[in-house]
Amino acid sequence: MKLKNKKSVSAATFMKLKKQAFAVRKKAHAPYSGFQVGASILTQDDKIFTGCNVENASYGATICAERGAVLKAVSEGAKMPLKAVYVMNSSPKAWPPCGMCLQVLSEFCTSTTLITISNKDKLEKMYCFSDLLPESFDPQFLKS
């Protein structure tokens, strides 16, 4: 795993992403799983958007933190692609984004977008987007 894009996010900005993911995680609505997840994303225009998981009794209607943050950014007209994504959960393990979130992120990330996953103990793991979803179905497939 080579983090080709790590230097495109300053240490100060990275700390903001981390703090905002931590803060929004506390707002999660997780009465069924009990696991709170917060995400923060950094857009090309250096704006940060956040999201938290919002569970629903009909599990399929649940919205993950990552998708919530992306939806906010798009609805606010943020400039894409994303520079970085920070995901923090309340589990003893640092979880990567789920498959559905990775598919949504593939629409707005580059292969080198920095993805950081973290847990309640602040264990951090960093990846390039392509490390988590190396053969993503992205808009390039629809251009033929």
Q: Annotated active-site positions, please?
A: 66
Structure tokens at 89: 């959960």
In degrees and rounded to multiples of 5, residue 29 shows phi and psi of -105, 95
Rounded to the nearest 10 degrees, what angle do helices 99-106 and 65-75 cross at? 20
Structure tokens at 70: 């992306």
Element at 38 (helix H, strand E): strand 37-42
Query: 137 and 107 in contact (C-beta within 8 Å)?
Result: no
